[in-house]
Structure 1
Amino acid sequence: MTRRNTMSINTKVEQIAYGHATALVLSELGQQENWCKAYEYLSECVERGDEPEDLVVWQPFEHWEWKDILEQIESEAESLLSTIKSVLGLAHKGIIQSAIDCSLDSDMTQLDLIGMVELGSEIEDGECAGGGYAA
């Protein structure tokens, strides 16, 4: 697996994905202020060949090497990122369709993002069947 450069974790979506993935593997974040920072700390320790002093893993991972734990976190985070991006793409399609059919609230204060994801999913299903956006 190709190691991800922790410096490239700079978007909020990436921080959320890596933080969530870290919380699935680590049970204690030690002195780090959040799960994403714990991931960055672990990554730096593995890169230097150091043992992270205050991180604790959940029981299923307790006999794993730290580099394997890091790879597990990275794999899970990349999977989460893919899912998040997919959901955002569906919301985008729903918003576009709502703009086309003039059903968007003019100042967007009542935007139902879950509804936009559902609408986007319907559009995507229609695209797979040969349809697309409807005017």
Structure 2
Amino acid sequence: MVPQPQPQRGVAHVLVAEDDVLVRVALAEELRAVGFAVIEASCADDALAYIRAGGKVDLVFSDIQMPGVLDGRQLAELIARDHPGIPVILTSGDIQLGAGLPTGLFVAKPYRIPHTVTLFFSVLGLLPPEGSS
């Protein structure tokens, strides 16, 4: 059975973990423009700290290679173990780093922001707003 998208009933909270500030800000702005609440983190360590502190998160989008103790794959593993209800989508400019990840849960850089935003709606089971693509 394939879940059908539901009308948006509230604001979904997306945590974006990306060390490239320009990439992070561009994506965050687009996400906010289509109705998401966005939490920004410059590294996986900060993203995990936010989640462990009880911050509301419905989806995590994380670069794989970032400064800090954790990388994006380790962040995804810890979230899957401790918070299995939070989907994680990983991204990287190195396609090899996405090897072995489930289809749809890895986005190669450079990515098109509109397609990535559409993926977020799909993963969350939400309908995108009219006119977005």
RCO higher in structure (CA 8 A, sep ≥6): 2
As a proportion of its length, which structure holds more strand? 2
Which structure's CA Rg is the greater one?
1
TM-score relative to the length of structure 1 = 0.27
TM-score relative to the length of structure 2 = 0.27
As a proportion of its length, which structure holds more helix? 1
